Amino acid sequence: MLIHPQIDPVALQLGPLSIHWYGLTYLVAFALFFLLALRRLKHPTYANLGWGRRDIEDLLFFGVLGIIIGGRLGYVLFYRPMEFLAEPLRIVAVWEGGLSFHGGFIGILLAMAWFAYRRRVNWLRVTDFIAPCIPIGLASGRIGNFINGELWGRVADPALPWGMVFRGAGDLPRHPSQLYQALLEGLLLFVLLWLYARGPRRLGEVSAAFLIGYGTFRFIAEFFREPDAHLGLLGLGLSLGQWLSLPMVLAGAALWGWAHRQPRSAV
């Protein structure tokens, strides 16, 4: 049985400025997106569009706004609506923590729609471009959750070699679900999508693969993650994260079906 290391959430203190590990993992995620997106520019589809470094910078800028605004609003609406309704000014207090992936995902979709409108390019062409660049950044964020000792897993069999006791979660060993998610939704999904997106694909296929892949891996990982204490398990014994992931899988399957009805000229 392992004990979660008590890591100071502050990585660096510069006078009154505190730089947190979790914030650094977000910076790593954004940097990785930028580097991977530069590699994606070499794909014939995007080379023919004439995209360059400036377009990647704009994608990243709009994406960061989408993540922060959408992630915060998603957390408020999905997880703690009544609490923030009572104190609406706390909605902007992002420094207190509280971001939802599914809310951030919606925010990114809206941000990419705005980018597509400004560039007069098909929205799915944009989402196909960014999809393979996202999972590795998600892995970085989950590593940040692990460093903070938050979002821990459900109680595990004491015989599990990597079962871990998290401070604040009692004395029983738990699944390090943050690492499960980093491996599934992050590393594995990245490898699969990156390899898949290298070939010629119909419009929307890569986006569909991301929706199906992330939704499936998140649904699986949630079986090992402790549900939010104030929510618990919902209908059919599923967590809120699982219920929010199901529409992603269904939307991905629908998009996949639509993409495969398109002519090859849409590649």
3-state helix, strand, coil in the chain (%, to 5): 65, 5, 30
CA distance 60 to 102: 18
Please name the residues in contact with 144: beta carbons below 8 A apart, sequence gap of 6 or more.
Answer: 21, 22, 24, 25, 26
Long-range CB contacts (< 8 A, 24+ apart) of 115-122?
Answer: 115/58, 115/59, 115/62, 119/55, 121/49, 122/203
142 labeled part of a ligand binding site: yes
Give yes or no for a contact between 211 and 251, defined as CB atoms under 8 angstroms apart: yes
* Bind-site residues: 142
